[in-house]
Amino acid sequence: MIEAAMIWNEPNNKSHWDPEVDPGWVKFCEMVILAAKAIRAENATLPRVLGGMSPIDPTWVQLLASRGVMDHLDAVAVHGFPLDWNLWSLHDWPAKIDEIRAVTDKPVWVSEVGVSTFGAEEVQDWGLKRTAELLRGKAPRIHWYSLYDLPKEWEATTRHKEAEGSSYYRHFAMGILRQDGTPKIAAEHFGSLTPDVGLCQWFHYEDHRLDDAVEHMKRLGVTYLRTGLSWADWLRPDAERWFDRLVRALEPFDTTVTFCFTPEEEGIEPHHTSAPKDPARFADFCATMVRRYVGSGPVKPIPAI
């Protein structure tokens, strides 16, 4: 079942929101407010979560609050990868959560946290266990990224691709399972952390891994999950069939769906990171997703920490 709707993904990161199209996040704030209102109009109890920020930036949260965005949200989310990309220590996780708590009274989720096996599987295994020790009891939702390695023949969603050097290639080694589904060392221990720790797994359009992923997550004892429902994909031919299949397959889990990715034809610039020409069109997409996959009935509350 769907337990929450997240509005966008890493909106303060250039790889996911173009600051040249929308300097100062003015258009973003307008879009989020419209989307949050549209979601609430469809369902009075579905939590609305601000897309996970990366970097973790309390000043950015204050900026959004000054424009009224927080009045329309029920939680905020953060992303952190201190052993791969961030310029802070893994041990700083509690302090990073507290930085955001200091500027908002909304619950703070960790909607992506992970460690790559780019250097060694043992690093990921240690990072998983230590992260769980630090975050259990600090956040209502902890989504470990991710179940699978990103297939090498696909592209990672970054701004400069291979020019980023090893930073780019780490994206392909974030799974606790390899691309072929075989387990890494961390997979042997992940089950001992559920149900406290959930997963974040993005599924591409008509992703061949979907059914196997569901079985792997059941075996690991996963009870909650985060994934995406792409606005850009919704405009593909026969999109309803894939979206229906995806949501139906994930019914065993309490799932947060992330609404994001601007269709080229809807963007001010023809790119998925662009602000839309008409933010009401994104709000309409969010409303359609909630109407189709959640309905108007009560949603089970997410346990407080």
% pLDDT > 90, the chain: 92
Identify the pLDDT of residue 164: 61
% pLDDT > 70, the chain: 97
What is the chain's alpha carbon radius of gyration, rounded to the nearest angstrom?
A: 18
Q: Is pLDDT above 70 for 39?
A: yes
221-255 pLDDT, tens per residue?
Answer: 999 999 999 999 999 999 999 999 999 999 999 99
Question: Quick count: other Cβ atoms within 10 Å of Cβ 155?
Answer: 12
Once rounded to an integer, what is the mean pLDDT over residues 108-129? 98
Which one is the CATH code of 2-293: 3.20.20, 3.30.980, 3.40.30, 3.30.70?
Answer: 3.20.20
Q: Is pLDDT above 70 for 297?
A: yes
Identify the pLDDT of residue 83: 97
Identify the pLDDT of residue 304: 83
Residue 137 CB-half CA count within 13 A? 2
70-82 pLDDT, tens per residue?
Answer: 999 999 999 999 9
Identify the pLDDT of residue 303: 86
Domains of the chain, by residue range, sit at 2-293
Q: Is pLDDT above 70 for 158?
A: no
Q: Is pLDDT above 80 for 157?
A: no
Identify the pLDDT of residue 155: 72
Residue 134 binned pLDDT confidence (cut-offs 50, 70, 90): very high
Identify the pLDDT of residue 167: 75
Give the H/E segment covering residue 244. helix 239-249
pTM for this entry: 0.96
Once rounded to an integer, what is the mean pLDDT over residues 158-178? 79
Residue 165 binned pLDDT confidence (cut-offs 50, 70, 90): low
203-209: Cβ within 8 A, 24+ apart: 203/227, 203/228, 203/246, 204/154, 205/230, 205/233, 205/236, 205/239, 205/242, 206/242, 207/246, 209/148, 209/181
Q: Is pLDDT above 80 for 285?
A: yes
Residue 31 binned pLDDT confidence (cut-offs 50, 70, 90): very high
Identify the pLDDT of residue 275: 98
